[in-house]
Amino acid sequence: MKTNTETTETSGAADTVKWLLVLVLLSAAVVGNYLLADLSVVIRAAGVVALIAAAGGIAAFTAKGQTAIAFARESRMEVRKVIWPTRQETTQTTFIVLAVCIVMALILWGIDGIMVRLIGLITGV
């Protein structure tokens, strides 16, 4: 039981160091992009992408990173199970939604006009 606790504490400390390194890399990307404004945009963009990729790689080796990767894999498997609608079904559904929105807008516009006239008659304005 005691070795298990020590392993968790060591892992937690290692994860903390990794997250600090991730934070430093992301901060370096932002600050470096700002301070090196005189360099070419392509070079700055490549530097920012490299630093973000390095930060993502380090974050992937933490406990939370492993959990996020497992979640992404499971989500991908679930998306493969979805039965997606055909183009025709999507088009028909879109037109139905648009028609309902237009009808509701006209109904609300009519109710608003009636309410304005009623309030105008009551208040005498």
Per-residue pLDDT reduced to its tens digit, 35-64: 999 999 999 999 999 999 999 999 999 999
24-34 confidence digits (pLDDT tens): 999 999 999 99
**DSSP H or E stretch at residue 18:** helix 2-35
pLDDT at site 125: 80
Q: What is the rounded CA–CA span in Å between residue 55 and residue 32?
A: 15
Q: What is the rounded CA–CA span in Å between residue 11 and residue 17?
A: 10
Q: What is the rounded CA–CA span in Å between residue 70 and residue 76?
A: 10
Q: Contact, 84 vs 47, CB < 8 A? A: no
- pLDDT surpassing 60 at residue 104: yes
- pLDDT surpassing 90 at residue 23: yes
- pLDDT surpassing 80 at residue 90: yes
* Full-model pTM: 0.57
Sign of the C-alpha dihedral computed for residues 60, 63, 64 and 67 taken in this order: positive
Q: What is the rounded CA–CA span in Å between residue 22 and residue 37?
A: 23
- pLDDT surpassing 90 at residue 83: yes
Q: Which two tokens stand for residue 115?
A: 């309410």
